[in-house]
Amino acid sequence: MISQEKMPSLVYFVRAKREDGDDVLAAKAEKVFLETGLKVQIDDKSFVALKIHFGEQGNTGYIKPQWLKNTIHQLKKKTSRVFLTDSNTLYVGKRSNSVEHLHLAWNHGFTPENVRAPIIIADGLKGGEEEEVEINLKRVKTAKIGSVFLNSDVLVCLTHFTGHGLSGFGGAIKNLGMGCASRAGKLDQHSEVHPWVNPKYCTDCGVCFDHCPAEALIHKEDKAFIVEDKCIGCGECLVVCNAGAVKFRWDSDIVRVQEKISEYAYSLWKSLKGNALCLNFLLKITKDCDCMAKDEPAIVEDIGILGSLDPVAIDQASVDLVLEKSGKDILKEGYDVDWSVQLKHGVKIGLGSRDYEIIEL
Ligand code: SF4
Ligand code: SF4
């Protein structure tokens, strides 16, 4: 009998660094896209959504519009219906409604002149335009996804790979799972997160109060205190607290939130029936994601651009390259989070494979 061994997922890779310059990076991204996108069905009627994070105001790590121009040009040879998209955020910032979100995207250079494609915010004016996808998995029965993602024929998931406070790293899985969820979908995933303030470390500086979108923080005996009933688990207080006073129950909360993220990613991936691909940009890899409203230094040298039809494989390959380049688990150094949960759960539910073959272009 012939063995039916599963083949490893292919991950295409080109080495790149910011010093290459915009034109070279655009050509390198195009090269990875062309190799990866060969099998994706696109005709002249296809709506092609390029899912991206435009970067919070003050952030400098986001994928630059200039790096996408060749890829968009290639897509537009097949269909004129190409657009950039993201969903609104849960937290206070310039991306919590479509109007400010669009202004911010323009300020970061995502103008029609630069990218030759319009922007459509995926979940409407205030994040309420969603569709439900029934998946009946361990953590999520019905996922709530921004309607534009589900109404598109093809999805190109463009991810700036970074560290992350809740998931250890933010890659394609997080970009799909959390990044494509509607406001209610994001709330659903964050509802697993229950932070608390360790009074021993809190200096009562007040910074977390300014960033909390739910007014869940109060002063108690000259320390910050989180009112659990009000907290929506967005994790903002964790990233803004320089004293390290905000704590999570890493073992339970972090496992649940990562598993939910993977299940949300699966709901969208399954709905797209294979008409989707991922590009991960391992350039200016920062400790936090592009939701941070500030310029953060890179934690490791630039590595390159990866492409795959498998969101688990591309994230596993990205992690492996980052760990290899830094010579240690630099992701765990940022936040003491077991980042492997999202990958392991992704395999378990059929989102993809951790077994990959890297093809350097
Ligand atoms: S940011 Fe940190 S140190 Fe400052 S009040 Fe909040 S918990 Fe306390
Ligand atoms: S207390 Fe922290 S996690 Fe809870 S809503 Fe406020 S900022 Fe978000």
> 217 CB under 6 A from ligand 2?
yes
* 98 in Cβ contact with 54 (< 8 Å): no
Residue 119 pLDDT class (50, 70, 90 cuts):
very high
Give SS3 for 347.
helix
Whether pLDDT at 147 is above 90: yes
Amino acid identity of residue 264, one-letter, is: Y
Distance 204 CA to ligand 1 centre (A): 5
The residue written with tokens 């709506």 in the block is 47
Amino acid identity of residue 235, one-letter, is: G
Whether pLDDT at 44 is above 90: yes
* 190 in Cβ contact with 234 (< 8 Å): yes
Write the pLDDT tens digit of every residue in 192-202. 778 899 999 99
Measured CA distances, 164 to 102, 302, 308 (Å): 25, 17, 22
Write the pLDDT tens digit of every residue in 14-43. 999 999 999 999 999 999 999 998 778 899
**Percent of the chain scored above 70 by pLDDT?**
97
> 216 CB under 6 A from ligand 2?
yes
> 233 CB under 6 A from ligand 2?
yes
Measured CA distances, 283 to 315, 318, 360 (Å): 14, 11, 17
* 150 in Cβ contact with 274 (< 8 Å): no
Whether pLDDT at 222 is above 80: yes
Q: Would residue 181 be called left, alpha or beta, if left means φ above 0 and alpha means ψ between -120 and 50 degrees? A: beta
> 245 CB under 6 A from ligand 1?
yes
Write the pLDDT tens digit of every residue in 267-307. 999 999 989 999 999 999 999 888 888 888 999 999 999 99
Task: Give pLDDT, residue 252.
Answer: 67
String of DSSP letters for 182-243: -HHHHHHHHTT---EE-TTT-----HHHHH-TT--EEEETTEEEE-TTT-----HHHHH-TT
> 238 CB under 6 A from ligand 1?
no
Distance 198 CA to ligand 1 centre (A): 9
> 224 CB under 6 A from ligand 2?
no
Q: What is the C-alpha to C-alpha distance for residues 71 and 31, in angstroms, rounded to an integer?
A: 8
**In whole angstroms, how large is the CA radius of gyration of the chain?**
20
* 163 in Cβ contact with 256 (< 8 Å): no
Could you give the domains of the chain? 9-191+264-360 (3.40.50.11440), 196-247 (3.30.70.20)
From the CA of 226, which ligand is nearest? 2
Task: Give pLDDT, residue 91.
Answer: 66
Q: In testing the pocket of ligand 1, which one of 198, 212, 237, 241 has its CB within 8 Å of the most ligand atoms?
A: 241
Q: Give the strand pairing for 162-164 and 168-170.
A: antiparallel
Q: Which of 27-41, 120-134, 250-264 has the lowest mean pLDDT?
A: 250-264
Angle at 210 between CA 207 and CA 212, to 5 degrees: 105
Task: Give pLDDT, residue 1.
Answer: 44
Task: Give pLDDT, residue 188.
Answer: 87
Backbone angles phi, psi at 233, to 5 degrees: 70, 30
Write the pLDDT tens digit of every residue in 151-179. 999 999 999 999 998 899 999 999 999 99
